[in-house]
Amino acid sequence: MSWWVGMHNPKLQLLVHGDQIADATVQLNYPGVSLVKVNKVENPNYLFLDLEISSAAKAGKFPITFTQKGKKTLSYTYVLNNRDQTPGRIQPVTSKDLIYLLMPDRFANGDPSNDVVKGLQETKLNRDSMYYRHGGDIQGVINNLDYFNDLGVTAIWMTPEIENDMKQASYHGYAATDNYKIDPRYGTNALYKTYVEKAHAKGLKVIKDIVHNHIGTGHYTYKDMPMKDWLNQWPAYTQTNYRDQPVMDIHASEADKKRMLDGWFVPSMPDLNHRNPYVQNYLTQNHIWWIEYAGIDGLRLDTYPYNDGEYMADWALKVKAEFPTLSIFGETLVNSAASQSYFTGGNTSNRGMDTNLPGITDAVLKDAIYEALNGKPGWTDGIFRLYSTLAQDFLYKDPSSNVVFMDNHDMSRFYSMVNEDLNKYKSGMAMLLTLRGIPQIYYGTEILMKNYSNPDGLVRSDFPGGWKADKVNKFTKAGRTENENQAFDFVSTLAKYRKSSAALTTGKLMQFIPEDGLFVYFRYAEDNKKTVMVIVNSEDKAKSLKTARFAERIQTATAVTNIITGEKIDNINTINIPASNTLVLELN
C-alpha cells in the first residue's frame, strides 16, 4: 500500500501480483531507495521486490516501472510517508486498563448504506439468522464511544475488521481475503483511522485483532498462490488436531506436532506456511503497516499456539523494534497454567527460546473462577481451584500482562454459565476486576446478555439498540431492565474505582488459603495507603468472617468501606458476607 521513511528496519519487500508479471524488467529511481533484488517465484504472476530505504530517504512518491517485451510499460506510483511522531500516539494496554471486546457486525449499525456492497460474494443482510451479516459497522462503534466511558472501559478490541469476501458466515472476520483493506461493509481504511483517533480523543485505547495462522479461501494468494508452499499443503485435506500438547511435549510424535501446526483450522481457512520467508515478510509488514497507519495501541494474536514458534518470536522482535510501547497478547485457549506459560516470554528454560510474547488470554484463570462460582468444595475443587491456579503464577514472567476474561465470541456467555444468578454474576465480575492481570469483558456482559456457544451464533447476538429498528435501546438506562441496570451499575462502579486504585491496577496480590467456603485476598500498593480486601463467599449461605487471621495485611486498619455500596464498616473484627457474594472493601 505504502511505507514510511525512518523505520527501524530499512528493508522492505513488495509483493507484486499481475498477469505474467515475472516477465517484466523492473526499474525505480528515487534518492535513498535501492532496488536490491527482484525475486521470481514459481507462479509467473508474482514478483517479490527487495527494497532498501536509507536513513537519508525523504518522504515522497516515485514510479516503479514494469517493462514487458511487446507490451505496454506499466507504472505504479509508490508512496513513502513521514512517520507520525505525535507523543503518546501509541499507548500501552496494561493492567491499568479494562478491555471491551465486540464484534463490529453485531454491535451497532451506524451507516446502513454499506450493509450490502455490490461486487462482494455475500449479498444478503439477515438479522434473523445468526450466520448472515447483520449490518453493524465501524461508524456504529464511533457513535457509541461515550457508552464505553460511562461503563468505565479504557480499551476497545474488535474482532478483525479487514475484508472477508466469503460466500457466507464471514462476519466474524477471521477469514481474510485482503489483509490491507477494511471490509467495505464496515467502512474504509480512512474511517478506521478516524475511529482510532476519535477513540483516543475519548481516552480509549484501540486493540487490533490479527491472524497469523490462516487466511480465507477467497484470498487472492489462495486462489492464485505465489508458490506451492505458500500454504501448508497435504495430499488430502487435513484438519489440525486442536491439541496444544504436542507443541511442548518432550514425548510427542512429530506427526502429531505437524498436524497441530500445519493442519488447517477449518476447510474455509487455508493454513499459512510460516517457514516460508515470503509469507513471513507479508504478514509482519502488514501488521507494522496497520500500526503505523492507524496508530493502534495493541494487538491480539489469534490462535497463537497454532503458529510456528520461531517465526512468532522473530515477528514480536521486529514489531516491537518499530513500536516499543505497543502491547501484545496471544490467544491461548489451553487447559493448564504450565501450557499457558510455555507460550509467554521469558520462559527460555523450558522452550530453549524466548517467544517475546508479553501476555496471553488466561483461560485457565477463567475456568478457575467458574469453578469457584459453580463447583463443589474439595481439596482442589470449588474455591480451592481458584486459589491453586493463582498459586502457579510463578510460571509467568509477568502474570499482570495476562488478559483475564469470563467469556468471548467463541464461548457460552457468562450470565448463562452461572445459571442467570445475579449474585454469582456480581461475584464473578468483582473477581474479574480485582484480580491481577488485564480484565476483559465481552460486549453485552454488562447488560446480562445470555446464551450458550452451541450453536456458537447465539453468543453473537446483536446489542439491543444498535439498530434504528430495535424496539429497546440498552445503551441507555431507560432501555434496560432493573436487573440489567443493577449489572451495568455494578460493573461501572467497580471499573471506575479500579481506574483510580493503584492497588488494583499495579499493586501486588496476596491470597490466603480458603476456609469454610471463604476466599480472602488483598491487593496493595507499595505505599500501602489504599489496600483493597476482597472476600469471596463461594457458598449459598451467609457467612461471618473473623479477620484476626489477616492481620498481616490489615495491619493498623480499623474500618473498611464497601466500594460498591459506599457503606463504611467501623468494626472489622468480624465481617458478614451474604450468600454467593464477593465484597470489595477498601481498608481505612
Which are the catalytic amino acids? 302, 331
Helix, strand, coil content of the chain in percent (nearest 5): 30, 25, 45
Beta carbons within 10 angstroms of residue 378's beta carbon: 11
Nearest to 129 by CA among 169, 95, 160: 169
Q: Given the C-alpha cell 490462516, which residue does it identify?
A: 214
| Diameter over CA atoms, the chain | 93
Nearest to 399 by CA among 342, 354, 431, 438: 438
Rounded-to-integer distance, Cα 59 and Cα 326, Å? 24
Measured in whole angstroms, how far is the alpha carbon of residue 381 from the centre of its chain?
29
- Pair 332, 244: CB distance under 8 Å: yes
Nearest to 408 by CA among 432, 372, 385, 376: 432
Q: Given the C-alpha cell 485476598, which residue does it identify?
A: 521
- Pair 482, 474: CB distance under 8 Å: no
Rounded-to-integer distance, Cα 49 and Cα 288, Å? 18
Residue 258 in grid coordinates: 505437524
CA distances, 402 to each of 203, 208, 295, 300 (Å): 22, 17, 23, 12
List the Cα angle 579/497/202 in 5-degree steps.
Answer: 135
- Pair 180, 289: CB distance under 8 Å: yes
Beta carbons within 10 angstroms of residue 499's beta carbon: 14
Rounded-to-integer distance, Cα 554 and Cα 385, Å? 25
Residue 83 in grid coordinates: 512517520
- Pair 383, 536: CB distance under 8 Å: yes
